[in-house]
Amino acid sequence: MPKKIAIIGAGVSGLAAAFKLSSGEDRIEIFEKSRGLSGRAATRSKDGARFDYGANYFKVESPELAELIFEDLPTEDLCRIAGNVGTFDKGGAFSEGDPEQNAGAKWSYRDGISTLGKLMAEVADLDILPSSRIVRIEKCQTKWDLIDGEGRRYEDYDAVLLTPPAPQTTDLLRDSELGDEATSDRILNALGESQYHSQFAVSLCFPGAIEMPGDCYALINADREHDLAWVSHENAKAGHVPKGESILIAQMSPSWSADHYDDPAAEIIEAALSAVRSVIAADLPEPHWSDTQRWRYAHPRTPANLAELRRALPPGVFIAGDGLVGKGRVEGAIRTGLDAAAQMESYLTGEDGA
Ligand SMILES: Cc1cc2nc3c(=O)[nH]c(=O)nc-3n(C[C@H](O)[C@H](O)[C@H](O)COP(=O)(O)OP(=O)(O)OC[C@H]3O[C@@H](n4cnc5c(N)ncnc54)[C@H](O)[C@@H]3O)c2cc1C
């Protein structure tokens, strides 16, 4: 008999899990608190431009990801990013990047990196409930119910997959019924081992062309002592920037972002512009538009305790997302979603012996 599955979060990990599970007969519903798809693999549009203001690119290094990206999903809109990632130090001095790091191809899509999430949803015809923030899960007999922020109840799921960043999953599970207090504590402690950095991403659109040092696509701060962690040129991605303009994405360092988290947007933009000038060119013109994003949970800096989670989670509850990897990477997050889908399949068919 077909089962009913709930997936919380329509980022790349949740969508990859749903994509894989959709080849069977089970009914899958995806609950997403925002209006859009793809989570931190995010794209915005402005004045004819598209820019990736979360994950800037993804790599395809594992066979699972290669199969998904190059075989299961359409490839016409994929764009391979030209140019290397160089480095700069605390004084802004440029060096060539790590050749090993630069060896692999870097990818986005012509319409932006969020196309990745959108394609998974489109190709598998996934059932997504946007603007649905789940605040609690409850066990009802052998099944699970979900409750959203408006108090609506969604009933009778055979399995639930949670994919928000680990601190948000922790909040959700803290208010949920997972079993006795000791079990709950084990789960929350295991998840709590995954801590996240916050980060500002500032997008700056300039008139005219900008030359990047060493003809790089992006520069990363190697000694982690600069206020700027990363700056990249969206023009290196086909289809992103209208002719005659340049867009730079500046990501401020985690420590700078934490110290300035509540500063007004205008001050964040001013600081990002001055940091970018110190690394690229002191005479960069004033941007004709700019845009900021405060990512509260940008990247995990430590992983959750996956082995303990697997032991402690009640039957039917699964977790995925980059908090399990401890590193903010699209590929890593997708792989956790594919792993979770495989575990859910064997749980739902009784093959795991549960
Ligand atoms: C600034 C920045 C730069 C980055 N650069 C790169 C890069 O260059 N390359 C790279 O590979 N990776 C990069 N990353 C990391 C990459 O974006 C993430 O690792 C990956 O997108 C995580 O996917 P996910 O599905 O685990 O989580 P998310 O994308 O966070 O998805 C989780 C989803 O759950 C939703 N959600 C949360 N709580 C609830 C709830 N209660 N109910 C319903 N829905 C909920 C969220 O809205 C979100 O859509 C970057 C990230 C940031 C922020």
Q: What are the tens digits of pLDDT across the range 18-32?
A: 999 999 889 999 999
For residue 179, what pLDDT is reported?
82
Q: Average pLDDT, stretch 206-235?
A: 96
Q: Average pLDDT, stretch 250-258?
A: 98
> Is position 57 within any domain?
no
> Is position 168 within any domain?
yes
The percentage of the chain sitting over the pLDDT mark of 90, rounded to a whole number, equals 93
For residue 1, what pLDDT is reported?
84
155 and 272 within one domain = no
Contact between 201 and 249 under an 8 Å Cβ cutoff? The reply is yes
Instruction: Among 49-63, 172-186, 209-223, 233-247, name the one with the lowest average pLDDT.
Output: 172-186
Contact between 316 and 344 under an 8 Å Cβ cutoff? The reply is no
> Is position 66 within any domain?
no
Q: Average pLDDT, stretch 193-198?
A: 98
Total number of domains in the chain? 2
Q: Which residue, by CA, sits nearest to atom 6 of ligand 1?
A: 55
Q: Average pLDDT, stretch 153-167?
A: 98
203 and 180 within one domain = no
For residue 353, what pLDDT is reported?
60
Each residue's pLDDT tens digit, 128-142: 999 999 999 999 989
Q: Give the angle 120-331-124 at the CA atoms, nearest 5°.
A: 10
> Is position 122 within any domain?
no
Task: Residue 201: name the closest of 266, 113, 294 by CA.
Answer: 294
Give the position, in ligand 1's atom list, of the atom nearest the Cα of 337.
25
203 and 179 within one domain = no
201 and 185 within one domain = no
Q: Average pLDDT, stretch 234-253?
A: 97
Q: Average pLDDT, stretch 208-226?
A: 96
Mutate to test the pocket of ligand 1, among 34, 35, 40 (most ligand atoms within 8 A of CB): 40
